[in-house]
Chains A and B, each alone.
Chain A
């Protein structure tokens, strides 16, 4: 009886904490959903509640987005950039993070700090020299490979790891540190090589950490806008944010409805995906290896 009561109390407390915050955090999305399906005249009308439809919902905003703009291209470009950048990030950051967590001496530590410090450089102005670098490279690639780096999504693929790698390296370092050393020591005593231990023991139990890095790197890429706006100008190479800002904000007239649709379409599946990943990686942390 006592236990049941305590269970109720604990659950109640959880709802009390999580519920209100969830509502506040998701509130803008409620507004977005309503606005996305509102008729344009409806949301310029102050006399009716903004919380619900007055003239009835419409698909015209969504139709506008898909028929009049290259929205699907923007989505695809963003997805490609995100996936490739995440792959590059993992290849570079997983070994580096492990090295920083376990193996390095003094020199290694300062290198690690150095990696982190590059992350502190604000992109506000760094985009100018970086764009020059891309242009230089472009001269090579267009000459040798007949491929234009500048103005293509691949220029972003090249540049984005400059902030995802330091980020991921440090996050992973934190995760690797939580893995008990004894686990590796045991494997080493069993005669495995360090590298073998790394690949066979350490990486598999780091899957949760790696998943976190995947999620966060991907969202960093999707959130970025300074490089995306300045590097890309051709409509077929636009990312989500550049596309929306260019084609849906016309001078002083934003297409509010279509903007909200554009924003919801990637958000909801991504949040679902993150949520699923989250289960997986929390399970990993609490599961087998630690018990």
Chain B
């Protein structure tokens, strides 16, 4: 880009063309588009093709069976459970993230002694390589050595013989994976919110102060709307991280505990079906189920973000 700009005197015509917003936009955007299309386009098409076949065991071919896989999974209780769990997992963890990150960002905007250290502690979960920090969590939730249970037992809050099993009892397991997931997204969301807050021009603040808006009212009528575009983007990424990610669930519970596989997500179910059990076609179908749903959510949120920005 710099080179282009520097060569202006020689390439007058070039720059003239580049002065047209639509041309410049295409030039700026095409490298990213080409790269992504080249890399992901083919594989994605292949995955779509596979979902219509009965391909097995890592072979990328199979007999065309139309919507067979989709129909079969649609009526499969295990898949239905997985969809429901994914929904709960996403919505609850994101709700927690929004509230906590919002609070933290507002609090961190002010100056106070020790802020640097506290912020460091808050950033830690995002800095730790996820697969490794999850090993830390498996140790914290260990059926026998759980530090949480040790603490609760010594406070005489739970039984010593059968303490709560954080990853083994259906409700607790769901709670645990949600908590861990929120734990790792909160720093990300906080940073985005901080940036959003910081970007609100001082004039707006001053104007609000002159109008007599303070505290909560200022937050609702001034800070919040101004933050909406960036907050929406943060939320959108949070949702996508959650719905398409399988690290947390795969490593902590592997979809368990039985009987209803209470933390089975669409992603882990697709992995189990397609990779671990060898029904590749069905696995591809399962993993693609989410795509249209997420697409609708994403587009809806993007439109919302745009509207919010116009006002």
Binding site for B on A (CB under 8 A): 10-11, 13-15, 17-19, 21-26, 28-29, 31-32, 35, 43-44, 46, 49-51, 78, 91-93, 95-96, 98-100, 102-105, 108, 111-126, 128-130, 132-133, 158-159, 161-162, 165-167, 169-171, 173-175, 177-178, 180, 193-196, 198-199, 208-209, 212, 215-216, 219, 222-223, 225-226, 240-241, 244-245, 254, 256, 259-260, 262-263, 266-268, 270-275, 278, 281-282, 285-286, 290-291
A267: which B residues are within 8 A, CB to CB?
A: 124, 127-129, 132-133
Nearest residue (CB) in A for B269 is A124
User: Known contacts A118-B40, A165-B32, A174-B230: does B124 contact A29 (CB below 8 Å)?
Assistant: yes
Residue pair B39, A162 in contact (C-beta under 8 Å): yes
Closest A residue to B290 by beta carbon equals A122
**From A96, A129, A133, A254, contact of B29 by CB (8 A):** A96
B309, A177: Cβ atoms under 8 Å? yes
Nearest chain-A residue to B202 (Cβ)?
Answer: A291
Chain B: CB-nearest residue to A263: B132
Q: Is there an interface contact between A103 and B25, defined as CB atoms closer than 8 Å?
A: yes
With A46-B144, A103-B25, A196-B5 as known contacts, state yes or no: A165 contacts B36, CB within 8 Å: yes
Please, what's the 1-or-0 string for B44-82, where 1 marks a CB less than 8 Å from any CB in chain A?
101100100000001010000000000000000000000
Give complex CA distance A85, B284 in Å: 27
Known: A161-B35, A240-B129. A195 touches B1 (CB 8 A): yes
15 additional A-B residue pairs with CB within 8 Å, beyond A29-B121, A124-B244, A263-B128? A14-B115, A23-B121, A26-B122, A28-B140, A31-B139, A99-B25, A99-B28, A102-B21, A104-B29, A119-B240, A122-B270, A133-B39, A170-B236, A193-B8, A290-B202
Q: Which of A29, A129, A130 has the most CB of B within 10 A?
A: A129
Binding site for A on B (CB under 8 A): 1-2, 4-5, 8, 15, 18-19, 21-22, 24-29, 31-33, 35-36, 39-40, 42-44, 46-47, 50, 58, 60, 100, 103-104, 106-108, 110, 112, 114-116, 118-133, 135-137, 139-140, 144-145, 147, 150, 183, 186-188, 191-192, 194-196, 198-199, 201-202, 229-230, 233, 236-237, 240, 244-247, 266-267, 270-271, 274-275, 280, 283-284, 287, 290-291, 294-295, 298-299, 302, 309
- Say whether A49 contacts B150, CB under 8 Å: yes
| Pairwise interchain contact B47-A165, C-beta atoms closer than 8 A | no
Distance of B93 from chain A, by nearest CB (Å): 14
Q: In the complex the two chains form, is B130's CB within 8 Å of A91's CB?
A: no
**Contact of A162 with B119 at beta-carbon distance under 8 Å, contacts A28-B136, A199-B2 already known:** no
B251's closest neighbor in chain A, by CB?
Answer: A225
Instruction: Report whether B127 and A115 are in contact in the complex, using a CB–CB cutoff of 8 Å.
Output: no
**Which residues of chain B come closer than 8 Å to A241, judged between CB atoms?**
129-132
Contact of B129 among A112, A159, A223 (CB under 8 A): A223
B18 and A129 within 8 A (CB): no
Check if A103 sits within 8 Å of B22, measured CB to CB.
yes
A169 to chain B, nearest CB (A): 6
Known: A121-B291, A133-B39, A260-B136. A271 touches B198 (CB 8 A): no
Residues of A within 8 A of B192 (CB): 171, 212
With A199-B2, A216-B188 known as contacts, the answer to whether A108 contacts B25 (CB < 8 A) is yes
A166-B246 contact in complex given A46-B145, A50-B145, C-beta closer than 8 Å: no
A-B contact pairs, 19 of them (CB 8 A): A14-B115, A15-B112, A21-B122, A96-B31, A96-B33, A118-B44, A120-B294, A122-B267, A124-B267, A175-B195, A193-B19, A195-B24, A198-B1, A216-B188, A223-B131, A259-B135, A263-B135, A268-B127, A271-B124
Which residues from A are CB-within-8-Å of B43? 126, 128-130, 132-133
Which of A117, A122, A129, A178 is B295 in contact with, Cβ under 8 Å?
A: A117
- A72, B100: Cα distance in complex, Å: 36
Contact B5 A209 (CB under 8 A): no
Interface pair B31/A282, CB less than 8 Å apart: no
